A and B are shown apart, each in its own frame.
Chain A
Amino acid sequence: MFRVFGIVLSFLLALALAGWALAVSVGPRALADGIELYQYRQYFDRILGDTAPRATRPMVVWLGDSTIMGGERPSYPQLLRGQLHRKNADSLVIAGAAFDPYIYYFAVGRVIERLNPSVVIMVAHLAAFSPRGSARIFRYNDLSSYITPAQLPRAFLLPLAERELSPARLLLAQALNFDGPKRIFFGAEGLRELYAKAPFWAALGPPRPPRVFNPRMRDTLTSYNVRVSRRQPTVRMLEAAVRVVTEAGRVAMVIATPIPHEALATRAWHDPAKMQQGFDVLREVVEGAGGMFVDLHRLLPQREFADYGGHFAATGAQHMSYAVWPMVREALRRASLAHTADGTGTPG
């Protein structure tokens, strides 16, 4: 057994020595690269960190993908900010590329805990319900660390494997809520990134092009050819996210975001009735979990889209803001009623 202890001891020593050498030589660069690599963590930390502004008046939080991100032109939640302000309500958009119900579920508990919103609006993009392995799927599994401890037991029963998550990984991810492990994680990931992008690789030839979301029409439209059912993993995650909101006494609203249905009509595989059935399933699920469902998937003509991926042109965003506003008002009204009824907690 002494030999085994010797092996373990020399293993730990050698590893510590190597770790120290790496930290001294490339540590700061690796840490910076790691932080850059996991930029959404920084984004969420900024929004949900200890200095997060807790709502003192009604607040609407929007959770969504790139269709509500804004940028060159304002997105429809940004267009509605003024109207909400006039209603004495604040709003906050939390959005990122291909954010989907998995991310909503990861973040929503912490959003309620930290921001205390009255209404949480989630965007349901049909393409987000694509099966596992689809080119559209982005994982952002590190964001699962935002799941609150109270959510964990139920989270274990959710279809985590679809995104290469597991109960053990969820538990480990909780370590990322502490500064030390987070720095080690960023540093280690940055180190791997430095190694993967080291100049010596160039001698071996060009790298394989990364698999990215393909903006070509054919491929993009194919991502809408999905079967939505109650058992579909992303649907189950959406239901779970809505439940977290409604069980916290807040109003949850899910918007089925417009998709390029005119372009879809030109595809041989497209079956509008089947697609409508999918949205009906979403309605059932969301309403069953106590949320509001707004089906706008056929709202916009093709000219109001900027592309085939469901991103809006300026007119499309404007059109959406008109269509969504009455529902947002209704959600605020319900939130206010809920507040009056229980006389506690939520401002509304």
Chain B
Amino acid sequence: MLFNSLEFLVFLLLVLAVYYGAIPRRAWSARKLMLVVASYLFYMNWNPYFGGILLASTVCDFTLGRLIEQATTPRRRRLCVVASVCLNLGILCFFKYGNFLLTNGAALLSAIAVPVTPPTLEIALPIGISFYTFESLSYVIDVYRGMPASRNFLNFALFLSFFPHLVAGPIVRPAAFLPQLLRAPRVDGAVIEAALARIGTGLVKKVVFADTFGIYADTVWETARPVGWLNTLLGVYSYAFQIYFDFSGYTDIALGLAMLFGLSLPENFDRPYLATSPRDFWRRWHISLSTWLRDYLYIPLGGNRRSVPRTHVNLLLTMLLGGLWHGAAWNFVLWGGYHGLLLSVQHVVAPGSPRRTPSPARLWLQRILTFHLVCFGWILFRSPSLPDVQRILTGLTSGMSYAPSRAASLALILLPIAVLLHVAGTGTGARRWFVRLPAWVQGTAYAAMVLLVFFFSPRTEGFIYFQF
């Protein structure tokens, strides 16, 4: 059930009607139970069996969290946290990396003259498993580190399954979400207006920008021979903006939906293509994942507190695993490794923060350079194999020819708008301005937006981050 689909609209209206119409605010537990049920229905709509996996993960981690808290010896606590990590990563590995490990294991054995035909695991990848596994892990690890365990199973189940963030994040931290569930939130008109503005922004980002850029990016990547230099560059830029608008659009909708129920989710983007360095990029892109990797992987590995070589190893390892988190394929590993390398190089060239604010010209130069470094990473990310990477790179170094097409023209028209929106920011300031407009103007704007989405949606694809 995609957020930009008719069935989701029907689902949401039903959930809101029951939540606000049938259950009084004082019956907060009943409202939470209703949200859990709705979230499971939402999730099981993809595949009814997925609900079982989510429930199993919820029950195990809730129990292990309680056991960690009640454990009397450090050894028991450690045992429980190890059990949770093994369980969560085991489930993730089986569903997400099972075939990848089998195929590559067999290839490795064949390389050392032990021919093996690997069996193919016929399993469907549960949508959003990487997101809720990381949320579940962060809960157990936080409890191990001293956070009080949740005593309310309903709260914990809602923390993991709350449908706005269930399938593609943001990765919610227990310390930020669970306290919100202690008492019924108050939702007034201003919150609803802000939520609607957020959802509207997200829908336009997804349907109008991401999907339109996606058509041209797909054209460039799916063409068997390298296309001209300008076309390829436009294709790469298109993909860069497609993935940004797709994921940040999804996040905006998720945050807006959560607001409709009086709950708040963390921000995930802060105009990432204005980053002045790779480190800055990771502070602005998929913030909930990069902070998760920092807090639960990079720092426990030693971060930058140990030797210089160890810091580089930690950076590389963190980013390699971050890449692998996106999918069981070598292109993601390569992409992660590339970003690890960029961070390592930056650690050598500019280890600390600059002492002076750079001049605007220098700042923009740094932004343009970082954007293009990130774009090179997107080539690795988007290409399913090394020959595809090579084809795109050959295209980038080929002649000046330009083949016009409808998709290319649309991408060319949208590109400056996308850059302007990115620079000006469609964030809090713009939304605050919008919600101050008269009600009839807002209503008419939403109607125009619905029509825009309606006409653009024949090309609508699923959200890219659903597959991770």
Residue positions of A touching B, CB distance < 8 A: 1-4, 6-15, 18, 156-157, 159, 161, 166-169, 171-172, 188, 192, 195-196, 201, 204-208, 227, 229, 231-232
Contacts and interface: CB of A to CB of B under 8 A. Distances in A.
Contacts of B193: 3-4, 7
Given A3-B439, A192-B458, 6 more contacts: A1-B189, A10-B447, A11-B447, A15-B447, A18-B447, A169-B7
Given A192-B455, A204-B406, A208-B407, A4 B444 contact: no
Interface string B39-52: 00000111110000
A24 B336 CA distance: 54
Contacts of B219: 208
A14 B46 contact: no
A50 B456 CA distance: 36
Contacts of A15: 447, 450-451
B405 A207 contact: yes
Nearest to B450: A15
A319 B291 CA distance: 67
Contact of B446 (A7, A188, A207): A7
Contacts of A232: 122
B444 A208 contact: no
A166 B41 CA distance: 11
B305 to A, nearest CB: 46
B443 A8 contact: yes
A196 B451 contact: no
Contacts of B46: 161, 166
Given A2-B189, A207-B406, A166 B458 contact: no
29 contacts: A1-B188, A3-B189, A4-B193, A6-B439, A7-B193, A7-B442, A10-B439, A10-B443, A10-B444, A11-B446, A14-B443, A14-B444, A14-B446, A14-B447, A161-B124, A166-B1, A166-B7, A166-B45, A167-B44, A167-B45, A169-B7, A171-B7, A192-B455, A195-B455, A205-B408, A205-B409, A207-B405, A227-B120, A231-B122
Interface residues of B, number: 43
B360 to A, nearest CB: 35
Given A14-B444, A166-B7, A168-B1, A4 B124 contact: no
Contacts of B374: none
Find the residue from A3, A7, A205 having the highest chain B CB count within 10 A.
A7
Contact of B404 (A3, A188, A205): A205
B406 A208 contact: yes
A313 B129 CA distance: 50
A220 to B, nearest CB: 17
Given A14-B448, A201-B406, A205-B409, A172 B10 contact: yes
Nearest to A166: B45
A166 B43 CA distance: 11
Nearest 9 interchain pairs by C-beta: A10-B443, A6-B439, A14-B447, A204-B409, A11-B443, A168-B7, A205-B404, A10-B440, A231-B122
B405 A206 contact: yes
A186 to B, nearest CB: 14
A29 to B, nearest CB: 16
A290 B122 CA distance: 25
B460 to A, nearest CB: 11
A15 B404 CA distance: 35
B184 interface: no
A161 B47 CA distance: 7
Contacts of B189: 1-4
A9 B446 CA distance: 11
Contacts of B116: none
A210 to B, nearest CB: 12
B406 A156 contact: no
Contacts of B441: 10
A18 B449 CA distance: 12
A168 B407 contact: no
Given A1-B189, A205-B406, A18 B439 contact: no
Contacts of B407: 207-208
A148 B7 CA distance: 20
Contacts of B455: 192, 195
B11 interface: yes
B191 to A, nearest CB: 10
B410 interface: yes
Given A2-B189, A206-B405, A208-B406, A7 B443 contact: yes
Contacts of A167: 44-45, 48
